[in-house]
Structure 1
Amino acid sequence: NWLSQITSVTAFNIRTLPQRMGSSATAIFGIAGVVAVMVGVLSIAQGIVQTMNNSASADNVVVLRSGSNTELMSILLGDDTRIIAEAPGLARNESGAIASPELFVIINLLKRATGTDANVPLRGVSRNALDVRDSFRVVEGRMFEWGLNEVIVGVGALIEFQGLEVGSTITVAQEEWPVVGIFETGGGLAETEIWVDASVLQPAYRRGNSYQAVYAKLESPGAYQEFKDALTSDPRLNVKPMRESEYYEEQSAMLYKLVTGLGTLIALIMGFGAVFGA
């Protein structure tokens, strides 16, 4: 009967367990490894999404060149940024519209954990960047001097990379630029960046009078449509305005797919290895 069959199969498996110890252990550890990889990948992906969400403000907007999905793919001329800053719906201070034309490049630094090279965002900002990111504050050292080759470092970048302490120098365009301060932005993505005056970064990278994005603050979240319509209907411009939340949501979706896709591939390879190794 079925009970005796189950008993026989169980007894057989127990008797032959010593002969199958190696393959059984391989399968068990292989499956555990696959699970660990997937848990780690999903945690990383979720962390990326959370960091992106923390970076967005309801009354901030980002303007890229039309057709661009990232700052690295975008280019805006100086005249473009001036027209954008004149659009209705933007908040203003004593110097005018709270809008920051910005430049975005990548440099390589050594990671603390591995000692290997990795990409670090170097952002050239304008004076109004500090009003656009109203959670910005220098927590060590001082703000860089406008017009000088000085940088400030986000707390996240300081933790992740070597040689970013106040008083150290980094190589930018084959020159040594001093680190003069450490900053926070309330846990947002900017904390993983290094900031410098855009006007000194432009000649260092031979960018002329060009930028890659404009970050700006609206009078209120409800002013977005007026601002967007003014830009998209202006024949002088070819731009893509977005709420900051929309921009970071788009970026996090792309990164989430990339990270989970690579993690799934690695887990599948490990899974096949565990099955065939057993």
Structure 2
Amino acid sequence: MRSMVLQLIAVISINLKSIPQRIWLSLSTVVAIALVVMVLLSFLAMANGFTRTIAGSGANDVAIVLRTGSRAELNSTVSHQQVQLIEDGPGIARAADGKPLVSSELYVVVNGVKRSSNTTANIPLRGVGEKGPLLRKDISISAGRMFRRGTNEIVVGKGLLREFDGIGLGNTAIFGATRWTVVGVFEAGGSVFESEIWADLPIVQSMFHRDNYFQTVRVRLTTPAALKQLETYSSNDPRLKLDVKSEAAYFAELASQTSDLIQKLGWPLAIAMAFGALAGALNTMYSSVAARAIEIATLRAIGFGMVPAFLGTIVESLFLAAIGGLIGAVATYLIFDGTSASTFGGNFTQVVFDFKLSPMLAIEGIAMALAVGFLGGVFPALRSARMPIVVGLGG
């Protein structure tokens, strides 16, 4: 056993020291694997950043009420009578004035101009009442002030300012047939709400001719466990029959839909590129075996076994793959991590988020690199182990 280990160490040392003799082939393999890892990790970082933005927006002690069967706010309608019934429901927390912490809201889509492409894209305009901000965590005005009730004033989420033109503090925006004045910028702890524009609920209802209904109702619960009471209350009253779910569950569902799509695009592309990198790895390792044919045969002639020859070639391939994987992971972090982007959310509006490369995602990328390295080294390693001594010595 000791002899086998010493043989293996010797072969690995010889293989690694010979890499500079094939520097360009080795470098091409490293670069190809690094590119594969970068493509994969950029998509995974995008999906992770989107998921963190959406899923991190919801609270377990806030319920969201939608029309039955509606998977997003745009598809929902809730009548004024239903809102009144919800306010009388069980498990609802109350403000200092004794009124229920319930926020009826209208969610409409307006056009914004993207900075990067100068094209129009959907952004959400949300009509909120006085209690709307109270039902969201970490809401604060970072510039300007909150809009005044009964006016065409709006406040813009911080995230939108990074991606869209014409909605900065003091600007006048035209949504529909109405001119709106931007009087404030708000932050929401990096949540999806930073991708919204807020205005006074009655004004939005009037301007968009939706006076008689809302689209969603948010409710502060006394405890997260009170959600079940409100669900039962809604299902038992024929005038309601609304879907009631925690805000955390609602956003997690929306996040999974889009992040799954992003990953379904990223993995096939990365795998397709991995085949190209695999071909490069095979070429590099076959060249390595051919260049070391005399060395391999000499070692075999003086008593080295087939296993050290096999494992030495595998380790060389894994070494090159690991370098490529590390370079790809570091490059992805430096280029993409924290980069702002926007994509469609569950309401078919632009959601602004940051790419986020986590350590676990980096490990996934490096693992894929090692898989390519292993597959690229197996067949050349078998050739190295089975090479006849006479052939290696040129006999």
Deviation at 1:222? 2.6
**Residue matched to 1:103:** 106
In the alignment, is the contact (CA less than 8 A) between 2:105 and 2:127 conserved in 1?
yes
Q: Report what 1:86 is aligned to.
A: 88
Higher helix share: 2
Cα distance in structure 2, aligned partners of 1:212 and 1:110: 25
Helix, strand or coil for the counterpart of 1:68?
Answer: coil
Q: Is 1:198 aligned to 2:176, yes or no?
A: no
Within 5 Å, give how 1:216-227 maps onto structure 2: 216-227=219-230
Q: CA deviation at 1:168?
A: 0.4
Counterpart Cα distance in 2 of 1:210 and 1:64: 12
Structure having the larger proportion of residues in strand? 1
Which letter does structure 1 place at the counterpart of 2:94? R
Write the distance in 1 (CA, Å) between the matches of 2:171 and 2:241.
41
Who is 1:258 aligned against?
A: 261
Amino acid at match of 2:144: G
User: Distance in 2 between the 1:262 and 1:250 partners?
Assistant: 19
Give the paired residue count: 265
Matches for 1:116-265 after TM superposition, within 5 Å: 116-265=119-268
Task: Give the distance between the partners of 2:150 and 2:224, measured in 1 at CA.
Answer: 33
Structure 2 CA distance for partners of 1:267 and 1:141, relative to 1, 3 Å: same
One-letter amino acid of the structure 2 residue matched with residue 78 of structure 1: H
- Gapped regions of structure 1 (runs ≥ 5): 1-9
Of 14, 33, 36, the residue aligned with 1:34 is 36
Structure 2 distance, partners of 1:79, 1:265, is 49
3-state SS of 1:157 partner? helix
Larger radius of gyration between Structure 1 and Structure 2: 2
CA shift for structure 1 position 269: 5.7
Amino-acid identity (%) = 36
Contact 2:143 2:186 in 1 (8 A): yes
Report the more deviating stretch, 240-249 or 94-103: 94-103
Q: Distance in 1 between matches of 2:98 and 2:223?
A: 19
Tell me how far 1:174 sits from its aligned partner.
Answer: 2.7
CA drift at 1:40: 0.7
- What is the one-letter code of the residue matched to 1:169? T
Q: Scaled by the length of structure 1, what TM-score is found?
A: 0.83
Matched, 1:72 2:87: no
* Amino acid across the alignment from 2:87: A
The corresponding residue for 2:53 is 51
State the shift of 1:276 in Å: 9.9
Q: Provide Cα deviations, 1:99-154, integer angstroms capped at 9, x if missing partner.
A: 11111122222223333333222111121102212422212111111121111011
